[in-house]
Structure 1
Amino acid sequence: MIFFNPLTHQNLKMMKSILYNLYKAFKSKRARAIMLCLVSMFSLSAQTPRKDSGADGLSAVAPINVGDRVPEDFYTRQYKVYTNGKAITTDLKHLKGKLIILDFWASWCGMCLTQMPKGEKLSQQYADTLAMVLVNTKHRRDDLQKIKKTYSETLARIGGSALPTVYNDEYLISLFPHASIPRYVWISPRGTVLAITGHTFVNKEQIDNVIDLLRGQGNYE
Protein backbone atom coordinates (compact mmCIF):
# COMPACT_ATOMS: atom_id res chain seq x y z
CA MET A 1 0.00 0.00 0.00
CA ILE A 2 1.66 3.23 -1.15
CA PHE A 3 0.75 6.63 0.26
CA PHE A 4 2.29 9.57 -1.59
CA ASN A 5 3.46 12.69 0.20
CA PRO A 6 1.49 15.51 -1.48
CA LEU A 7 4.11 18.23 -1.34
CA THR A 8 2.67 20.32 -4.16
CA HIS A 9 -0.71 20.86 -5.75
CA GLN A 10 0.83 19.79 -9.07
CA ASN A 11 1.88 16.46 -7.59
CA LEU A 12 -1.53 16.07 -5.99
CA LYS A 13 -3.27 16.71 -9.31
CA MET A 14 -1.07 14.13 -11.00
CA MET A 15 -1.69 11.52 -8.28
CA LYS A 16 -5.44 12.08 -8.39
CA SER A 17 -5.41 11.68 -12.17
CA ILE A 18 -3.51 8.40 -11.87
CA LEU A 19 -5.86 7.11 -9.20
CA TYR A 20 -8.98 8.01 -11.17
CA ASN A 21 -7.62 6.19 -14.21
CA LEU A 22 -6.90 3.16 -12.04
CA TYR A 23 -10.39 3.45 -10.60
CA LYS A 24 -11.91 3.13 -14.06
CA ALA A 25 -9.83 0.02 -14.66
CA PHE A 26 -10.92 -1.74 -11.47
CA LYS A 27 -14.00 -3.90 -11.78
CA SER A 28 -14.63 -5.00 -8.20
CA LYS A 29 -16.63 -2.75 -5.88
CA ARG A 30 -14.10 -3.33 -3.09
CA ALA A 31 -11.17 -2.17 -5.23
CA ARG A 32 -13.10 0.88 -6.37
CA ALA A 33 -13.96 1.77 -2.77
CA ILE A 34 -10.27 1.66 -1.83
CA MET A 35 -9.30 3.86 -4.78
CA LEU A 36 -11.98 6.46 -4.00
CA CYS A 37 -10.88 6.48 -0.36
CA LEU A 38 -7.27 7.17 -1.34
CA VAL A 39 -8.22 9.96 -3.74
CA SER A 40 -10.21 11.71 -1.03
CA MET A 41 -7.45 11.17 1.52
CA PHE A 42 -4.97 12.90 -0.81
CA SER A 43 -7.34 15.83 -1.26
CA LEU A 44 -7.71 16.43 2.46
CA SER A 45 -4.05 15.76 3.19
CA ALA A 46 -3.11 18.58 0.83
CA GLN A 47 -4.75 20.99 3.27
CA THR A 48 -2.25 20.07 5.99
CA PRO A 49 0.49 22.71 6.37
CA ARG A 50 3.94 21.69 5.20
CA LYS A 51 7.01 21.59 7.39
CA ASP A 52 8.02 25.04 6.23
CA SER A 53 4.58 26.59 6.58
CA GLY A 54 5.21 28.32 9.90
CA ALA A 55 2.11 26.80 11.50
CA ASP A 56 1.53 27.63 15.14
CA GLY A 57 2.72 25.11 17.72
CA LEU A 58 5.72 24.13 19.78
CA SER A 59 8.79 25.71 18.19
CA ALA A 60 10.82 22.50 18.51
CA VAL A 61 8.18 20.31 16.83
CA ALA A 62 8.10 20.20 13.03
CA PRO A 63 4.78 19.30 11.37
CA ILE A 64 4.78 16.00 9.49
CA ASN A 65 2.92 14.91 6.38
CA VAL A 66 1.29 11.82 4.96
CA GLY A 67 4.02 9.27 4.28
CA ASP A 68 6.25 10.48 7.14
CA ARG A 69 6.98 8.47 10.26
CA VAL A 70 5.98 9.88 13.60
CA PRO A 71 8.97 10.65 15.85
CA GLU A 72 9.73 8.23 18.67
CA ASP A 73 8.68 10.99 21.04
CA PHE A 74 5.13 10.52 19.79
CA TYR A 75 5.01 7.23 21.68
CA THR A 76 7.28 7.96 24.65
CA ARG A 77 6.35 11.48 25.77
CA GLN A 78 3.95 11.95 28.70
CA TYR A 79 0.43 13.09 27.81
CA LYS A 80 -2.37 14.37 30.00
CA VAL A 81 -5.19 11.87 29.45
CA TYR A 82 -8.74 11.69 30.74
CA THR A 83 -9.99 8.10 30.80
CA ASN A 84 -12.42 6.04 32.88
CA GLY A 85 -13.41 9.14 34.83
CA LYS A 86 -9.83 9.92 35.88
CA ALA A 87 -7.16 12.38 34.78
CA ILE A 88 -3.81 10.63 34.42
CA THR A 89 -0.41 11.15 32.83
CA THR A 90 0.73 8.41 30.47
CA ASP A 91 2.54 7.63 27.22
CA LEU A 92 1.37 5.87 24.05
CA LYS A 93 3.95 3.07 23.98
CA HIS A 94 1.22 0.49 24.56
CA LEU A 95 -0.35 1.47 21.21
CA LYS A 96 2.67 0.47 19.12
CA GLY A 97 1.70 -2.31 16.74
CA LYS A 98 -1.86 -1.04 16.27
CA LEU A 99 -3.51 1.16 13.69
CA ILE A 100 -4.00 4.46 15.54
CA ILE A 101 -6.65 7.01 14.62
CA LEU A 102 -6.25 10.36 16.36
CA ASP A 103 -9.57 12.19 16.58
CA PHE A 104 -9.13 15.95 17.14
CA TRP A 105 -12.21 17.41 18.83
CA ALA A 106 -13.64 20.11 21.10
CA SER A 107 -16.55 20.16 23.54
CA TRP A 108 -18.38 22.81 21.50
CA CYS A 109 -18.05 20.90 18.20
CA GLY A 110 -21.39 19.21 17.57
CA MET A 111 -20.12 17.13 14.65
CA CYS A 112 -17.21 15.90 16.78
CA LEU A 113 -19.55 14.68 19.50
CA THR A 114 -21.99 12.96 17.16
CA GLN A 115 -19.13 10.87 15.70
CA MET A 116 -17.90 9.58 19.05
CA PRO A 117 -20.46 6.77 19.51
CA LYS A 118 -19.29 5.39 16.16
CA GLY A 119 -15.65 5.72 17.23
CA GLU A 120 -16.34 3.92 20.49
CA LYS A 121 -18.09 1.07 18.69
CA LEU A 122 -15.25 0.69 16.18
CA SER A 123 -12.60 0.74 18.91
CA GLN A 124 -14.41 -2.07 20.69
CA GLN A 125 -14.99 -4.07 17.52
CA TYR A 126 -11.32 -3.82 16.48
CA ALA A 127 -9.80 -3.84 19.96
CA ASP A 128 -6.86 -6.05 18.91
CA THR A 129 -5.84 -4.01 15.88
CA LEU A 130 -7.16 -0.45 16.28
CA ALA A 131 -6.78 2.32 18.86
CA MET A 132 -9.03 5.38 18.71
CA VAL A 133 -7.56 8.28 20.68
CA LEU A 134 -9.39 11.58 21.11
CA VAL A 135 -7.25 14.71 21.18
CA ASN A 136 -8.44 17.97 22.73
CA THR A 137 -5.92 20.74 22.07
CA LYS A 138 -5.06 23.61 24.38
CA HIS A 139 -6.03 26.31 21.90
CA ARG A 140 -9.61 24.96 21.76
CA ARG A 141 -9.97 26.38 25.30
CA ASP A 142 -11.49 23.26 26.85
CA ASP A 143 -10.20 22.85 30.38
CA LEU A 144 -10.43 19.58 32.31
CA GLN A 145 -13.73 20.58 33.94
CA LYS A 146 -15.38 21.15 30.56
CA ILE A 147 -14.08 17.80 29.34
CA LYS A 148 -15.37 16.01 32.43
CA LYS A 149 -18.76 17.65 31.96
CA THR A 150 -18.86 16.64 28.29
CA TYR A 151 -18.09 13.04 29.21
CA SER A 152 -20.56 12.83 32.10
CA GLU A 153 -23.46 14.76 30.57
CA THR A 154 -23.17 14.16 26.82
CA LEU A 155 -21.01 11.17 25.95
CA ALA A 156 -22.43 9.07 28.78
CA ARG A 157 -25.84 9.63 27.18
CA ILE A 158 -25.09 9.30 23.44
CA GLY A 159 -22.01 7.05 23.56
CA GLY A 160 -18.30 7.64 23.34
CA SER A 161 -17.45 7.96 27.02
CA ALA A 162 -15.24 4.85 26.88
CA LEU A 163 -12.81 6.59 24.53
CA PRO A 164 -9.73 8.13 26.18
CA THR A 165 -8.85 11.72 25.34
CA VAL A 166 -5.58 13.56 25.43
CA TYR A 167 -6.32 17.04 26.81
CA ASN A 168 -4.50 20.36 27.05
CA ASP A 169 -2.48 19.18 24.05
CA GLU A 170 0.14 21.30 22.33
CA TYR A 171 2.38 18.57 20.91
CA LEU A 172 0.01 16.63 18.62
CA ILE A 173 -1.49 19.79 17.15
CA SER A 174 2.08 20.85 16.33
CA LEU A 175 2.74 17.55 14.55
CA PHE A 176 -0.57 17.71 12.68
CA PRO A 177 -1.63 21.38 12.41
CA HIS A 178 -5.13 22.01 11.11
CA ALA A 179 -7.97 24.50 11.33
CA SER A 180 -11.21 22.54 11.10
CA ILE A 181 -12.48 19.71 13.29
CA PRO A 182 -13.21 16.88 13.55
CA ARG A 183 -9.92 15.85 11.97
CA TYR A 184 -8.64 12.27 11.90
CA VAL A 185 -5.00 11.21 11.57
CA TRP A 186 -4.40 7.57 10.60
CA ILE A 187 -1.08 6.11 11.79
CA SER A 188 0.10 2.63 10.83
CA PRO A 189 1.28 -0.01 13.33
CA ARG A 190 4.84 0.92 12.29
CA GLY A 191 4.31 4.63 12.85
CA THR A 192 3.76 5.88 9.30
CA VAL A 193 1.15 8.59 8.75
CA LEU A 194 -1.24 6.92 6.32
CA ALA A 195 -3.86 9.62 5.86
CA ILE A 196 -5.53 12.70 7.28
CA THR A 197 -9.29 12.57 6.72
CA GLY A 198 -12.69 13.86 7.64
CA HIS A 199 -15.30 11.88 9.56
CA THR A 200 -16.93 10.24 6.52
CA PHE A 201 -13.97 7.89 6.06
CA VAL A 202 -13.97 6.62 9.62
CA ASN A 203 -16.19 3.60 9.13
CA LYS A 204 -16.06 -0.19 9.20
CA GLU A 205 -15.58 -0.59 5.46
CA GLN A 206 -12.56 1.71 5.27
CA ILE A 207 -10.99 0.28 8.42
CA ASP A 208 -11.40 -3.23 7.00
CA ASN A 209 -9.75 -2.09 3.77
CA VAL A 210 -6.82 -0.45 5.53
CA ILE A 211 -6.25 -3.33 7.97
CA ASP A 212 -6.36 -5.88 5.14
CA LEU A 213 -3.78 -3.91 3.17
CA LEU A 214 -1.58 -3.41 6.24
CA ARG A 215 -1.69 -7.14 6.95
CA GLY A 216 -0.61 -7.77 3.38
CA GLN A 217 2.42 -5.55 4.00
CA GLY A 218 3.31 -7.41 7.19
CA ASN A 219 2.43 -4.52 9.52
CA TYR A 220 0.76 -6.88 11.99
CA GLU A 221 2.81 -9.63 13.59
Structure 2
Amino acid sequence: MLFNLSEAWAQSAESRTAEGQIEIKPLQVGHRVPDEFWTKEHLFLINGDTVRKTLEEHRGKILVLDFWFTGCTKCLVHQKEINYFKEKYPEDLAVIMVNSKRTRDDHEKLIRYIQGGVFRNLQLPNLISIIEDEYLDQMFSPAAYPNYFWINDQNIFQLQTFRNLLDQSYVAPFIDEKL
Protein backbone atom coordinates (compact mmCIF):
# COMPACT_ATOMS: atom_id res chain seq x y z
CA MET A 1 0.00 0.00 0.00
CA LEU A 2 1.40 3.38 -1.00
CA PHE A 3 0.58 6.59 0.78
CA ASN A 4 0.43 9.67 -1.39
CA LEU A 5 1.50 12.97 0.09
CA SER A 6 1.14 15.06 -3.04
CA GLU A 7 0.56 18.32 -1.23
CA ALA A 8 4.15 19.22 -2.25
CA TRP A 9 5.57 22.27 -0.60
CA ALA A 10 2.94 24.71 0.54
CA GLN A 11 5.16 27.73 -0.13
CA SER A 12 5.82 28.90 -3.65
CA ALA A 13 9.36 28.97 -5.05
CA GLU A 14 9.20 32.77 -4.97
CA SER A 15 8.34 32.93 -1.27
CA ARG A 16 11.04 30.38 -0.38
CA THR A 17 13.61 32.40 -2.33
CA ALA A 18 12.43 35.64 -0.70
CA GLU A 19 12.96 34.04 2.73
CA GLY A 20 16.54 33.18 1.81
CA GLN A 21 15.90 29.49 1.29
CA ILE A 22 17.77 27.96 -1.60
CA GLU A 23 15.58 26.20 -4.12
CA ILE A 24 16.93 22.77 -4.88
CA LYS A 25 16.34 21.40 -8.33
CA PRO A 26 14.97 17.83 -8.18
CA LEU A 27 17.30 15.19 -9.58
CA GLN A 28 16.28 12.91 -12.41
CA VAL A 29 17.37 9.29 -12.82
CA GLY A 30 20.79 9.34 -14.48
CA HIS A 31 21.92 12.60 -12.86
CA ARG A 32 24.99 12.79 -10.67
CA VAL A 33 24.32 13.89 -7.10
CA PRO A 34 26.08 17.19 -6.30
CA ASP A 35 29.10 17.21 -3.99
CA GLU A 36 27.09 19.08 -1.34
CA PHE A 37 24.81 16.01 -1.14
CA TRP A 38 27.66 14.23 0.66
CA THR A 39 28.84 17.15 2.80
CA LYS A 40 25.56 18.74 3.92
CA GLU A 41 24.74 18.07 7.56
CA HIS A 42 21.46 16.35 8.39
CA LEU A 43 19.67 15.85 11.68
CA PHE A 44 19.73 12.14 12.55
CA LEU A 45 17.60 10.46 15.20
CA ILE A 46 19.66 7.56 16.59
CA ASN A 47 18.17 5.51 19.41
CA GLY A 48 16.20 8.51 20.65
CA ASP A 49 19.12 10.96 20.54
CA THR A 50 19.77 13.52 17.82
CA VAL A 51 23.08 14.16 16.12
CA ARG A 52 24.10 16.21 13.11
CA LYS A 53 26.21 14.43 10.53
CA THR A 54 26.79 14.13 6.79
CA LEU A 55 26.41 11.25 4.33
CA GLU A 56 30.13 11.40 3.50
CA GLU A 57 30.86 8.03 5.15
CA HIS A 58 28.62 6.37 2.53
CA ARG A 59 30.28 7.86 -0.57
CA GLY A 60 31.50 5.05 -2.84
CA LYS A 61 28.82 2.61 -1.70
CA ILE A 62 25.39 1.93 -3.10
CA LEU A 63 23.26 4.30 -1.04
CA VAL A 64 19.52 3.84 -0.76
CA LEU A 65 17.49 6.71 0.67
CA ASP A 66 14.41 5.13 2.24
CA PHE A 67 11.68 7.80 2.58
CA TRP A 68 9.07 6.91 5.21
CA PHE A 69 6.61 8.31 7.74
CA THR A 70 4.92 7.01 10.88
CA GLY A 71 1.54 6.37 9.21
CA CYS A 72 3.11 3.94 6.71
CA THR A 73 3.16 0.40 8.08
CA LYS A 74 4.85 -0.96 4.93
CA CYS A 75 7.69 1.50 5.50
CA LEU A 76 8.61 -0.32 8.70
CA VAL A 77 7.64 -3.90 7.89
CA HIS A 78 10.41 -4.03 5.27
CA GLN A 79 13.12 -2.85 7.68
CA LYS A 80 13.91 -6.39 8.85
CA GLU A 81 14.77 -7.47 5.28
CA ILE A 82 16.65 -4.24 4.61
CA ASN A 83 18.72 -4.79 7.79
CA TYR A 84 19.65 -8.28 6.55
CA PHE A 85 21.25 -6.81 3.41
CA LYS A 86 22.88 -3.93 5.30
CA GLU A 87 24.55 -6.46 7.61
CA LYS A 88 25.51 -8.81 4.75
CA TYR A 89 27.12 -6.06 2.61
CA PRO A 90 28.34 -3.36 5.04
CA GLU A 91 31.22 -2.27 2.80
CA ASP A 92 29.07 -1.97 -0.33
CA LEU A 93 25.59 -0.92 0.77
CA ALA A 94 24.06 1.72 3.02
CA VAL A 95 20.35 2.32 3.52
CA ILE A 96 19.38 5.54 5.26
CA MET A 97 15.82 6.17 6.38
CA VAL A 98 14.62 9.73 5.66
CA ASN A 99 11.63 11.36 7.32
CA SER A 100 10.91 14.79 5.88
CA LYS A 101 9.21 17.84 7.35
CA ARG A 102 6.43 17.29 4.81
CA THR A 103 5.30 14.22 6.79
CA ARG A 104 4.77 16.37 9.91
CA ASP A 105 6.62 13.74 11.96
CA ASP A 106 8.68 16.05 14.17
CA HIS A 107 11.19 14.95 16.81
CA GLU A 108 8.61 14.78 19.62
CA LYS A 109 6.17 12.72 17.55
CA LEU A 110 8.92 10.29 16.56
CA ILE A 111 10.02 9.87 20.19
CA ARG A 112 6.42 9.08 21.20
CA TYR A 113 6.24 6.65 18.28
CA ILE A 114 9.39 4.83 19.41
CA GLN A 115 8.24 4.77 23.04
CA GLY A 116 4.91 3.30 21.87
CA GLY A 117 6.75 0.07 21.08
CA VAL A 118 6.31 -0.06 17.31
CA PHE A 119 9.92 -1.09 16.71
CA ARG A 120 9.84 -3.66 19.50
CA ASN A 121 6.59 -5.13 18.12
CA LEU A 122 8.17 -5.46 14.65
CA GLN A 123 11.30 -7.00 16.23
CA LEU A 124 13.47 -4.16 14.97
CA PRO A 125 16.47 -3.13 17.06
CA ASN A 126 16.09 0.65 16.85
CA LEU A 127 15.33 3.64 14.68
CA ILE A 128 18.09 5.46 12.86
CA SER A 129 16.73 8.08 10.49
CA ILE A 130 17.34 11.50 9.07
CA ILE A 131 14.49 13.56 10.49
CA GLU A 132 12.87 16.93 9.84
CA ASP A 133 14.49 16.95 6.40
CA GLU A 134 13.80 19.42 3.61
CA TYR A 135 16.96 19.17 1.51
CA LEU A 136 16.66 15.50 0.44
CA ASP A 137 12.90 15.85 0.10
CA GLN A 138 13.37 18.66 -2.43
CA MET A 139 16.20 16.87 -4.23
CA PHE A 140 14.31 13.58 -4.74
CA SER A 141 10.63 14.64 -4.37
CA PRO A 142 9.08 11.41 -3.06
CA ALA A 143 5.51 11.11 -4.35
CA ALA A 144 4.40 8.23 -2.11
CA TYR A 145 5.65 6.13 0.79
CA PRO A 146 7.64 4.01 1.00
CA ASN A 147 9.86 5.47 -1.68
CA TYR A 148 13.44 4.32 -2.31
CA PHE A 149 16.06 6.34 -4.18
CA TRP A 150 19.16 4.39 -5.25
CA ILE A 151 22.49 6.18 -5.72
CA ASN A 152 25.22 3.99 -7.16
CA ASP A 153 28.86 3.86 -6.14
CA GLN A 154 29.68 6.36 -8.92
CA ASN A 155 27.38 9.00 -7.32
CA ILE A 156 24.67 8.61 -9.98
CA PHE A 157 20.98 8.60 -9.05
CA GLN A 158 20.27 5.26 -10.66
CA LEU A 159 16.78 4.09 -9.66
CA GLN A 160 13.59 5.09 -7.87
CA THR A 161 11.31 2.35 -6.55
CA PHE A 162 8.11 2.23 -4.56
CA ARG A 163 8.81 -1.32 -3.48
CA ASN A 164 11.66 -2.59 -1.35
CA LEU A 165 13.98 -4.49 -3.69
CA LEU A 166 16.14 -5.59 -0.75
CA ASP A 167 13.91 -8.59 -0.10
CA GLN A 168 15.18 -12.18 -0.11
CA SER A 169 11.88 -13.62 -1.30
CA TYR A 170 11.20 -11.07 -4.05
CA VAL A 171 11.53 -12.20 -7.64
CA ALA A 172 11.37 -9.34 -10.10
CA PRO A 173 8.48 -9.74 -12.57
CA PHE A 174 10.79 -9.40 -15.56
CA ILE A 175 13.07 -12.31 -14.58
CA ASP A 176 12.34 -15.60 -16.32
CA GLU A 177 11.32 -18.18 -13.72
CA LYS A 178 13.15 -20.88 -15.69
CA LEU A 179 16.56 -19.33 -15.01
Please confirm whether the aligned pair reaches a TM-score higher than 0.5, indicating the same fold: yes
Which structure dedicates a bigger proportion of its chain to helix?
Answer: 1
Please, which runs of 5 or more residues in structure 1 have no aligned partner? 1-53, 207-221
Could you list the structure 1 runs, at least 4 aligned residues long, displaced by more than 4 angstroms after superposition.
none
Query: In structure 2, what is the equivalent of residue 111 of structure 1?
Result: 74
Q: Larger Cα Rg: Structure 1 or Structure 2?
A: 1
Alpha-carbon distance, 1:162 to partner: 4.1
What CA RMSD, in Å, does the superposition of the two structures yield over aligned residues? 2.1
Report the TM-score when normalising by structure 1. Answer: 0.63
Q: Name the structure 1 match of 2:144.
A: 180
- By how many angstroms is 1:128 displaced? 1.6
The one of 80, 102, 121 equivalent to 1:139 is 102
Of Structure 1 and Structure 2, the greater strand share is in 2
Q: Secondary structure at the match of 1:150?
A: helix
1:6-17 matches, cutoff 5 A: none
Residue by residue over 1:100-148, the C-alpha shift from the partner in whole angstroms, topping out at 9 and shown as x without a partner, is 0110000111111211222222211211211010000001000112222
8 Å contact from structure 1 (residues 103, 185) kept in 2? yes
For the 8 Å contact 1:106–1:112, the answer to whether it is kept is yes
Name the CA distance, whole Å, in 2 between partners of 1:187 and 1:111.
22
Partner of 1:46 in structure 2?
Answer: none
Partners in 1 of 2:169 and 2:26 — Cα distance?
29
Among 84, 88, 102, which residue is 2:47 paired with?
84
* Larger relative contact order (CA 8 Å, sep ≥ 6): 2
Instruction: Indicate the SS of the match to 2:78.
Output: helix
